[in-house]
Structure 1
Amino acid sequence: MGPLKRYLPKGLFARSLLIFVFPVAVMQALIAWAFFEEHWETVTSRLSESVAGDVAMMTELFEQTGEDEIAFEPLAETAYRTMRLSVDFRPGETLPTSRRTSFFRTLDRTLRRALTADIDRPVWFDTTRYPAYVDIRVETETGVLRFIAVRERVFATTGHIFLLWLVGATALLSLVMVVFMRNQVKPIRRLAEAAEQFGRGQDAENFKPAGAREVRQAAHAFLEMRGRIKRHLEQRTEMLAGVSHDLRTPLTRLKLQLALLPKTDETEEARRDVCEMEIMLDEYLAFARGQAGEETQTTDLTALVRETVEDTRRTGAAVTLEAEDGIFADIRPGVIKRCMANLLTNAVTYGETAAVSVRKKGSRVEIIFDDDGPGIPAELHEEAFKPFSRLDDSRNLNTEGVGLGLAIARDAARGHGGEIRLSESPMGGLRATLTLPV
Structure 2
Amino acid sequence: MLSTSLLEKWAERQMSVIAAQHQRTLSGWGTQAEALYSAGDSQALADWLEELQQQENTWAAVVTSDVTPIAGSTLSTQFQEGYRLGRMIEWPIHLYFPANPIMDITFAGGHRHFLITLPQRMRPGSHLNKIIWLVNGLIPLLTLLAIGWLLYRHIIAPLHYLRDATQALADGRPHLTPSAARRDDELGDLVASFDGMALKTRDTIASQKQLLTDLSHEIRAPLTRLSLSISQMKASRSPPDQLARLEQESLQMSRLVNDALTLAWLSHTSPTLDSDAFDLVDLIDALIDDVRFEYPHHQWELALPENASIAHSSQRALGQALENLLRNACHYSGSAGTLYLSLSQQVKTYTLILRDNGPGVPEELLDRLFVPFYRSADARQVRPEGTGLGLALARRQISAVRGEIITGNHMHGGLQHTITLPTGIGDHRHL
Common fold: TM-score over 0.5: no
TM-score (norm 2): 0.40
**Structure showing greater Rg:** 2
